[in-house]
Amino acid sequence: MKFEAITIPKGLLLFPCTLVVVVVLIPLMRSLNESASSIYGTNFESVETRSSCNIFSGNWSRYEKGPYYNNDTCPYIAEKQNCFTNRRPDREFLQWRWKPHQCELPLFDALQFFNLVNGKSMAFVGDSIGRNQMESLLCLLSGVSHPEDITTKHISNYKDEMYFKWWFYADYNFTLTTLWSPFLVKSTRAYLNDTSLDNAEKLYLDEADQAWTSQIQNFDFIIFSGGQWFFRPLTFIQNDQVIGCQLCQNNTQHDFYGYRNAFRTAFRAIINLKGFKGLTFLVTHSPNHFENGEWNKGGACNRTMPYASMEDEVAMHIPYALEELHQMQVEEFLEAEKEAKKKGLKFVLMDITDAMLMRPDGHPNKYGHAIDKNVTINDCVHWCMPGPVDTWNEFLLYLLKMQM
C-alpha cells in the first residue's frame, strides 16, 4: 500500500510546533534548571563544565546569607577556633564566598555528601590544620546527622585523645577520623614533653609515621595536610644516619629539606601500602598572616576583610617561604600522582593556598582563647569556625563528585 504525500502549508506546520515549544518545553526546561539549582545551591553546570573549571582560581565575593552554622548550632567547634564564644566582635568576615573565575562553586550539601560517603571511611592525616578542617566538616554535617564519638574504641592511651579522634555516623555507616602526625614521618615525639623550640626534633625522613600508616589500609579517603611544624629546629635522619638539620649551627643545614622529603615518603607509603585502594587528597599549605612581628614576638592578624585579589595588597604580605613550600608540595604530589596511576590509584590536589592567602581576616588572632586568660601569643595560623575554612569542604565535596 502506498501513501500519497500531502502538502501542508508551512505556516500551518510551524504554528503548532512553536506553540508546543513556548507552552510546554520552555517551562519544563526552566523547571528542570530551577530543580538543579535547588539541589546544588548554584546554577546548573554540566559535568563537562565543572571538569574544565579551575575552582582554585578566583576571588572572594560578597555573600549576605551568612554561615552554614554557628557556635550555638554546632557542638564540635574547638575552643581555640570558637572565636565568637571568645568574644570576637566583628562579623563581616563571614559575609564572603569563594567565587572561581570560570564557574560557580556549589554550596555545601550535607545530604549529597552523605550519599557519596555512605558505607565508607575518611581520615584526615596531619596536624591541627587538618583537625580544623575535619571539625568544620562535622559542623557542616550537623544539620543532617550527628555522629557517635568512638575514639575510645580505637585508642588505649588517654593522652592520645588530645590528638586522635574517631566519629561514626550510624545513619550512613560513615567513619570519620583525624590521625595526628604533624611531620607525616617517624619522629622522636620529643615535642610532647618539651614545648620549647630550643631542642631539635629528630625526623626519620625515609620512614612514614606508623601513627597513620597502621590505621588507613581499608580507608576510602585519605586527606593529607600540614606543614606548620616544619618551621622549628629539626634534625634529619636517613638510612639511620644524621644527614643534616634545620635552624642549627653546623655546616649541614638544609632548610625545608624535611618538608619535601616528608611528603615524598608519605606518598610513597600510600602507593606501596598493600591492599590500599582509597582516594588520596593533598590539601596544600595553609598560610599564616602574622603582621608587625613574628608569632612569638607580638605578631597579630587584626584585619577584618579579605584582600581584594592576588594582585592586590596580598603581594606585599606573602608569609615567609610560602611560595617555596607550596612548590615543593605540588612537585611531590605530581610525581606521586604519576606513580599512583601505575597501580590504579588516584591522587587529587586541593589547592587552597591562594584562596586562603587572601583571608587574613579569618584567623582567631587574640580570640582563640577566653579574653580574660593571660595569653600573649595570637593565633594567625588556624581558622575561626565558622569561617573561610568551611570553603575547604565545599572544595572537598566538589572534588568528590568529580571522582565518583
Neighbours of 166 (CB within 10 A): 22
Count Cα neighbours of 9 within 13 Å in the Cβ-side half-sphere: 3
Residue position matching grid coordinates 526552566: 30
Q: What is the distance between the alpha carbons of residues 95 and 62, in angstroms, rounded to a whole number? A: 6
| Annotation says 379 is catalytic | yes
Neighbours of 77 (CB within 10 A): 22
Q: What is the distance between the alpha carbons of residues 242 and 202, in angstroms, rounded to a whole number? A: 9
Peptide bond into 386 cis (omega under 30): yes
Q: What contacts 339, CB < 8 A, 6 or more positions away?
A: 267, 268, 271
DSSP assignment string, 20-54: HIIIIIHHHHHHHHHHHHHHHSSS---HHHHHT--
| Annotation says 128 is catalytic | yes
Helices 390-403/110-117 angle, 10° precision: 50
Catalytic residue among 121, 225, 382, 390: 382
Sign of the four-CA dihedral 97, 103, 109, 114: negative
Q: Provide Rg for the chain, Cα atoms.
A: 25
For the chain, give the number of residues. Answer: 404
Catalytic residue among 109, 209, 361, 379: 379
Catalytic residue among 121, 128, 181, 225: 128
Question: Which residues are part of the catalytic machinery?
Answer: 128, 379, 382
